[in-house]
Chain A
Amino acid sequence: MKLETLSQAVGEWLRGTGPESDIVMSSRVRLARNVAHYPFVSRATEQDRADIERFLRERIATAPVGQGLEYIDVGHLEEVDRQLLVERQLISRELAEAQGARSVAIDGREQVSLMINEEDHLRIQCMHSGLDLKGVWEQIKVVDDQIEKVVPYAFHERFGYLTACPTNVGTGIRVSVMLHLPALVITRQIDKVFRSLHKISLAVRGLYGEGSQAMGDFYQISNQTTLGKTEEELVEQVGDVVPVLIDYERRAREFLVRETQQNVHDQVSRAYGILRTAQTISAEETMQLLSRVRMGVLLGLIGDVKISDINVLLVRTQPAHLQKIRGVELDTKDRNIERARYLRQHFEAGGPGARASAN
């Protein structure tokens, strides 16, 4: 797989389609699995890791799901390419920064990704655009079943699927949805929402994974426990709370329009103005402004921008994507200049379909 092609393509979670996609960016499920006859990754020798990687790659290739997968040897990638995969949510930051033999297998639609030698030997991930947890669960279940036929997963009668960290033991499942909640942030209700989520054992993270600060009002909601409930119950636990959050966000948006229309209109217009005219701009600021513009479009305050375009810009203005698109390595200062140029060209040309020329 050419990573250059990847940076030009539109990934699954960027499509901006699917149910409730004005608020739900994507739905994702991952399963943590380990083979029974090797030490867990953190205790595995260099040789073990290479053996585990080869064992899994060879075995998975014999399963039907293995046919449509493209393997990427993460250990031998340049840093910018590893970063590119992180930005597309195809690998975790942990896999990007790990040592030794490790890889990822991705299907052509970027829905399924299999990480080998992350914290666990195998992390199966499946992602759909919009709200579709049931669809994602049905798909990943098939992938898991097919791999289980050819790979002996470590399993304990009472504790279930065994994982390197006891926080994942049992089902090994993490169910998550990524939500765009700008109105709850603006109306300062977001902390209250998060506190109530913690009470029902749900975790909240920022857009880019573990412990990172939420950027641009994008939040991931996921289950915290993995043992004692079935996979379906855990999918439901996360799924049940989503309509409630959607309802809160919609009401907050209506409130903003009703009570502070001028303010909101001013805010989103200014955000749009900066994106179209800035000469240098950081990734964080870009994300924050794109978030505001995204809300403005959904509220009908900005007319000539498509939601799918904003989703694409959210990823293409990330550091590694920007460098891949420009075809050169850039330091932070130059990236900020290039990012501003990319945004200006994009909005002048009227969409990412009209490819901005490199110079």
Chain B
Amino acid sequence: MKCQKCDKQAVFHITELETGEVRELHLCEDHARAYLNQSEPVGDGDGPEEGKSSGGALVGPLGVGQTADELAVLDQKACGMCGITFFEFRNQGRLGCPHDYVHFEKELEPLIANIHGATTHTGRRPSRGQTVGEAALPEGTEELTAVIGMRSSMKEAISLEDYEKAKEDRDAIRAVEERWLGPPKAQ
């Protein structure tokens, strides 16, 4: 794919979620750098006319209210559980773990609205049956998903030889898993 501003190969593919709509930018390295540094609308010609070309119309509103710094910050925002950054999600189109829907809720909402024309699920809901211990479990599964972050924390502690911390993590994981999945099976 060619850069929207010149004939070079587009290597930066930027998805904007700014105005409740998904807008895509395809830029070569030079123009991407210019775009991110100056935070100016990128037209597809050098002329000063505004909103004339489709490229200009496409990216025109993106500069408004979104500085390069804000973009960079958004891209660096990483999920505390699986570690995926928003930049990685935009590149792959796949999320990293269930917690991303909580962590990136604000960013995902316009995207979801655009895809589905709705943001609220009205279909079936889990009727937690035998997985539930004696305590009532919340409908959402955030608490169980937190285990993903605890596992990385445990791994890190082990690599730092902080076995005290690793043991704490392991016990915390077991407690949550037992609550949700029932007593651990003999392995």
Q: Does A associate with B in a complex?
A: yes
| Selected contact of B120 from candidates A154, A225, A228, CB within 8 Å | A228
A169 to B129, CA, bound (A): 23
Q: Which of A40-92 contact B (CB under 8 A)?
A: 40, 42-43
Is B94 positioned at the interface, with any CB of A under 8 Å from its CB? Answer: yes
Binds B, one of A10-18, A158-166, A324-332: A158-166
Q: Nearest Cβ distance between residue B126 and chain A, in whole angstroms?
A: 5
Bound complex: CA A150 to CA B81 (Å): 24
**CB pair A171 B131 closer than 8 Å:** no
Query: How distant is the Cα of A39 from the Cα of B126 in the complex, in angstroms?
Result: 20
Interface centre among B82, B97, B181 (most CB of A within 10 A): B97
- Find A166's partner among B84, B97, B115, B130 (CB 8 Å cutoff): B115
B 134-151 contacts with A by CB, 8 A: 139-142, 144-145, 147-148
- Tell me, yes or no, whether A208 is within 8 Å of chain B by CB: no
Question: B177 at the A/B interface (Cβ < 8 Å)?
Answer: yes
Taking a contact as CB atoms under 8 Å apart, the answer to whether A42 and B96 are in contact is yes
Residues on the A chain within 8 Å of B76, using CB: none
Q: Report A121 CB to chain B, min CB distance, Å.
A: 10
Say yes or no: is B117 at the interface (Cβ < 8 Å to chain A): yes
Which residues of chain B are near A201, meaning CB under 8 Å? 117
- Chain B residues positioned under 8 Å from A166 (CB to CB): 95, 108, 111-112, 115
On whether the beta carbons of B147 and A225 are closer than 8 Å, the reply is no
Contact of A37 among B117, B118, B129, B145 (CB under 8 A): B145
- Known contacts being A227-B121, A228-B117, is A153 close to B126, with CB within 8 Å? yes
Q: How far is the CB of B89 from chain A (nearest CB, A)?
A: 9
Interface residue from B98, B116, B147, B180 paired with A34 (Cβ < 8 Å): B98
Cβ contacts A190-218/B at 8 Å (1 or 0 each): 00000000000100000000000000000
A153 to B84, CA, bound (A): 21
Whether the pair A231, B98 counts as a contact (CB closer than 8 A) is no
Whether A171 contacts B121 in the complex (CB less than 8 A), given A152-B131, A155-B141, comes out as yes
B140 touches A152 (CB 8 A): no
User: Using Cβ atoms and an 8 Å threshold, which residues of chain A touch B122?
Assistant: 228-230
Interface residues on A, range: 35 or more
* Bound-complex Cα distance A228 to B82 (A): 27
Residue B184 CB within 8 A of the other chain: no
The yes or no answer to A36 lying at the interface (CB within 8 A) is yes
Determine the chain A residues whose CB is within 8 A of the CB of B47 once the complex forms: none
A182 interfacial by beta-carbon distance below 8 Å? no
User: Quick check: A170 and B148 within 8 Å, CB to CB?
Assistant: no
B101 adjacent to A119 (CB under 8 Å): no
Please tell me if B127 contacts chain A, counting CB pairs below 8 Å. Answer: yes
Q: Do A149 and B98 touch across chains, with their CB atoms under 8 A apart? A: no
Task: Check if A148 sits within 8 Å of B144, measured CB to CB.
Answer: no
Contacts of A156 in B (CB 8 A): 98, 101-102, 121, 140-142
Given the contacts A229-B123, A231-B123, A164 and B95 also touching, CB distance less than 8 Å? yes
In the assembled complex, A157 has its CB within 8 A of some CB on chain B:
yes
- 17 other contacts beyond A39-B96, A150-B131, with CB at 8 A cut-off? A39-B81, A39-B97, A39-B148, A40-B94, A40-B98, A43-B82, A148-B126, A148-B129, A152-B180, A155-B140, A156-B141, A159-B119, A159-B121, A166-B111, A169-B112, A228-B116, A231-B123
